[in-house]
Amino acid sequence: MTDQPLIAAARERFAPWLIEPMLENRGTYLKVAVAAAMINLFGLVASLFTMTVYDRIIPNDASSSLVGLSIGLAIVVLFDFVLRLLRVYFVDIAGANIDYEVGDTLFAKLLAMRLDRRPASTGTLTGLMRELETLRDFFASATLTAIIDVPFILLTLAVIALLGGVLVLPPLAMIPVVVLAALLTNPALDRLSAKSLGDGLRKQSVLVETVGSLETVKAIGAGPMLAERWRSALRSHAHSSLGQRLTASIAVTTASSANTIAYCGIIIVGVGLLRNHEITTGVLLACSVLCGRVIAPLAQIATLLSRLSATRIAYRQINALMQMPDEGPAGEALHPARIEGRIELRSVAFRYPNAAEKALDQISLTIAAGERVGFLGRVGSGKSTLARLILGLYEPQEGVVMIDGTDVRQFDPGALRRCIGAAMQDNVLIAGSVRDNICVERPDVDHDEMIRAASLSGTHAFMGQIANGYDLRLADRGDGLSGGQRQSISIARALAGRPPILVFDEPSSAMDGQSETDLIGRMQPEVEGRTLLLITHRLSLLRLVERVVVLDRGRIVADGARETILQRLRGGKVA
């Protein structure tokens, strides 16, 4: 885990995770470009229609020509309507495709990310994942098509110049004003977008923490403390968002004012030209209509730039996540078809990110295949950390952890963990049915195997008393079941599929004495001949093991046959 901010961590412009889905959708964007180009051309037609009506039809009282022209214009309007709809539709399709592709890659990255590199706060991480929506909004927004309108600004200016000569000057003069306003506000916008995003993540962080532990928050009366954190996050987010919106609106408002000025400029200059008979009324009207078509795309570009700022910040954040190292080897990973279960740690030292002390230091230990070892030690002595290293969840900074003589870093992490049945301390279940939680879509765990594992763990005994049984839908994290029931399901999940290595971290901590005794009785034949690592504070559970290792402050202080170590412990001869 890391507390380092991700902002500005990676500035690479076009990362493959974004560029590839964009390129895949180039066909769709091409259709959008064609539609946008046609819409621009139709816009020119409408202004030429105005000119023709004023210069040819009204002076000549040619009503029949007006009917013909109107029919022609109606067709153009109809096409324009259809094309505008199509443009929105295609942009949405491309946006949705990109969102799907990038979202899929990002989730895969999240699953593969090394745990020691992930952001420390869950809220921050989920907030970063949400930034995907900012990207989607950008790629699925019709504003994006404003880029295609840009070359048509030149075409429109050329038509104005052709029809009205100097009438082109007012809109031409306004272009640098709008562009300058957008360029000048952009750096501030970038900074405010980054700040607003950081504040948004802080809000998300408080929210996720509160929602995730609402029961505890209420029970311990932490509500007012969290409410104050929430209010503070709300205040700063509201403040930075306001600044962001205000700055963004400067360029957009400038564009709108520039539009009015250019329009008025055309009228003022045009009246002079009209008086000198240098242009006709039709030309003046056509040029004033066309003037709007010069500035409007610029206003769109200003909006696009403000969105671009937020998108760029979101992109950098997501890219920083994407750049994080994955677990597993850099080269070809090993996929063990089956393992014997021999575990060896050689001079292993490990320190959690940002921790002052090493959680494990100088650990050397060999566990033979099929050996059952209990781990004892005071709170915080490093027992769970040892299990995490064997599961390959963290890598040691010094030394090596090996399974069957191979460094665990060489294995494909997923393949390795399929060979290890682990029930960790927190017993978190996944939203879904009890069946989903025990089988976890493993092909080797069918219904019979699930029932076998559930019977061993004690799950089967209470499943019969619950409506829906194994199809009972659990809420997030297994809410809706008691702590002991969740623990029992976690044990069933670990046992299912008969993995050669079993890692149990306090497997009976939430169970009553009788349930624990029953569990030990059922487990004894099951763990026979399998490598078992059993972390516990309960001496009764040690009946399942033949050897005991005692840890203290990250070091091994005793290691030997169960009875020998227990005697030494009773005699107070172990630190």
Ligand X SMILES: Nc1ncnc2c1ncn2[C@@H]1O[C@H](COP(=O)(O)OP(=O)(O)OP(=O)(O)O)[C@@H](O)[C@H]1O
- Residue with smaller CB distance to ligand X, 160 or 551: 551
Q: How far is the CB of 366 from ligand X (least distance, A)?
A: 20
CB of 509 to ligand X, least distance (A): 9
Q: How far is the CB of 120 from ligand X (least distance, A)?
A: 9
Residues facing 422 on adjacent strands? 503
Pick the closer one to ligand X by CB: 248 or 360. Answer: 360
Using only the alpha carbons of the chain, give its radius of gyration. 34
Which of residues 164 and 554 has its CB atom nearest to ligand X in the complex? 554
Query: Closest approach of Cβ 481 to ligand X, in Å?
Result: 22
Q: To the nearest whole angstrom, how small is the minimum distance from the Cβ of residue 535 to ligand X? A: 6
Q: Taking the complex as a whole, how short is the minimal distance between the CB of residue 425 and ligand X, in angstroms?
A: 6
The smaller minimum CB distance to ligand X, of residues 193 and 385, is found at: 385
Q: Please, what is the minimum distance in Å from the beta carbon of residue 212 to ligand X?
A: 16
Close Cβ partners of 192 (under 8 Å, ≥ 6 residues apart):
240, 243, 244, 247, 309
What's the closest the beta carbon of residue 382 comes to ligand X, in angstroms? 4
Least separation in angstroms between residue 396's CB and ligand X is 13
| Terminal C-alpha separation, the chain | 31
Nearest to 310 by CA among 239, 220, 385, 244: 244
Residue 315: partners with Cβ closer than 8 Å, 6 or more residues away:
18, 135
Question: Between 388 and 562, whose beta carbon lies closer to ligand X?
Answer: 388
Tokens linked to 51: 């000119």
Q: Find how far residue 536's CA is from the centre of its chain.
A: 36
Q: 3-state SS of 534-546? A: EECCCHHHHHHCC
User: Which residues touch 556 (CB under 8 Å, ≥6 apart)?
Assistant: 363, 364, 365, 549, 550
**In this complex, which beta carbon is closest to ligand X, that of residue 249 or of residue 425?**
425
Measured between alpha carbons, how far is 59 from 453 in angstroms, rounded to an integer?
94
Q: How far apart are CA 471 and CA 463, in angstroms?
A: 10
H or E stretch at 547 = strand 547-552
| Shortest separation between residue 361's beta carbon and ligand X, angstroms | 11
Residues 121 and 2: their CA atoms lie apart, in Å, by 9
Q: What tokens were used for 220? A: 């311990």
Given a contact cutoff of 8 angstroms between Cβ atoms, the answer to whether 536 and 374 are in contact is yes
Question: Residues 349, 362: contact at Cβ < 8 Å?
Answer: yes
**Which residue lies nearer to ligand X by CB, 174 or 376?**
376
Residue number, 435 or 538, with CB nearest to ligand X:
538
Measured from the CB atom, the residue of 313 and 422 that comes closer to ligand X is 422
Quote helix, strand, coil % in the chain, to nearest 5.
65, 10, 25
Residue-by-residue DSSP string for 90-118: HHHHHHHHHHHHHHHHHHHHHHHB-GGGS
**Token pair belonging to 122:** 């869950």
Q: Which C-beta is closer to ligand X: that of 19 or that of 355?
A: 355
- Contacts to ligand X by CB under 6 A: 352, 355, 359, 377, 379-385, 425
